[in-house]
Every structure is written in C-alpha cells, then in structure tokens.
Amino acid sequence: MNHRTRTGSGRELTFSDRELRDLAIAWLTLSVAFALLYVKVHLGESPSEFVVMVVLSLVTVGVAFLLHEIAHKVVAIEHGQIAEFRADYQMLFLALMGALVGFLFAAPGAVYHRGRVTQRENGLIALAGPVTNLLLALLFLPLMVFPSYLGMIGQMGVGINVVLAAFNMIPFGPLDGKSVLEWHKGVFALVFVPSVLLAAFIIFYVGLF
C-alpha cells in the first residue's frame, strides 16, 4: 500500500508500507541509542532517567533524522525522481551496541533515488538534508531559554541538528557534502563552514555531547 500526499509544487509524495516501517524503526532505534549514550555519559544509569531521555530523543534526535531524510525525498521527487528511504539494519544494530559502550556512530539508512538527474539537481537533493537540520536548529533555539525539560529539548534539538548537518556535509563517500561540493564549491562552503564551526562550539565549548 502507498500513502500519498502532495508536495508544494503539486507532485505526488508517496510512502510505501515498507518505507514507513523503515523510517519508524530507524527513528525509534536512533532515539534509544542516543538515550543510552546520553544517560551513560551524563546522568548515570537510572531506568527512570533512561525513559525520560528516550522521550526527549524521540522529539529531538528522531525528528532531526526523520525530517533530514524526508527533505531528501521531497526534493528528489520535485526533480522527477523516484525516491524511497531504506533502513540499514546492520548499522542500526551497531548504533545500539556502540551506545552501550559509550560511542555512537549513526548511519541508519538513506533515501535512494533514481531517474535522470543533473549534477545541480543531485547537489540540491543532497543539500536538502543538512539545510533542513540547520533550520530545525533555529526552531529549537528559543526553547533553550526555558527551564527543565523544555530547555533540555531546546539544547538537544539545537545540538543534534547542528552536528548532523556538519557531519553530513563532510565531502566524503556517500555523505551529502560530496555531491554538494561536486555541484557548487561556493554553496558547499556557505553551508559546510558555519556548520562545522557551530558543531565544534557545541561539542568542545558547550560540552553537549
């Protein structure tokens, strides 16, 4: 079964049952993995703290991942591609195992698209994910001024989205940055440089991760 909606230009955006299942499993697995890591590093190993962190991760880490992948899909479809997300279950398992020992490397899957595409269009499809994460970081930013869990959601939302944008803009292998760099060096620098600087600030100065 396909679940259908419309993009801004009126093109049909469809999600198969398998794709929705893969997105849901990757969303939940990444959120649990991040919660395991965060509780282990920052809070101790209380079961109640872990449950709270899973919920917080679902609306920060999970949303960052989900909208990153959907952005790739939407832009691919806008350019006439057939596009669908596929989870990488081996990498999801490794993410969980890594989190248990204090290290998280998340490569949950990817949106695969096919059809005739120019280098510019391929670059725009790749760019959509990291730019979406930077926009999400801006949306989470105002929440940081609030106390308690709302402020924590803001802090986590800003941090994970900036780090995810920077990581995916690395111009290497299957990461988005390689396609963006091959298309337009100026656009690549405009997104990559501030993303990396912000991520470095969050990791080494704020100490969020």
Q: Tell me, yes or no, if 69 is annotated catalytic.
A: yes
Q: pLDDT, tens digit, for every residue of 89-123? A: 999 999 999 888 878 777 899 999 888 889 999 99
> What is the model's pLDDT at position 94?
92
Which amino acid is located at 198 in the chain? L
Following DSSP, what letter does each residue of 107-172 receive, concatenated?
--EEEEEES---HHHHHHHHHHHHHHHHHHHHHHGGGGGS-HHHHHHHHHHHHHHHHHHHHHTS-S
> d(Cα 25, Cα 92) in Å, to the nearest integer?
9
Question: Nearest 5°: CA angle at 110, between 108 and 112?
Answer: 155
- What phi-psi label fits residue 207: left (phi over 0), alpha (psi between -120 and 50 degrees) or beta? left
The helix/strand/coil state of 102 is coil
Are the C-beta atoms of residues 141 and 185 closer than 8 Å to each other?
no
Q: Given the residues 19, 49, 69, 121, select the one marked as catalytic.
A: 69
Q: Would you give the distance in Å from CA 126 to the centre of its chain?
A: 12
81 neighbors 115 (Cβ within 8 angstroms) = yes
pLDDT given for residue 129 in this prediction: 97
3: which strand partners?
A: 15
Name the residue range of residue 50's domain. Answer: 2-206
Among 90, 93, 74, CA closest to 5: 74
Task: State the pLDDT at residue 7.
Answer: 58
The domain total for the chain is: 1
- pTM for the model stands at 0.89
Which tens digits make up the pLDDT trace of 114-160? 888 899 999 999 999 999 999 999 999 999 999 888 999 999 999 99
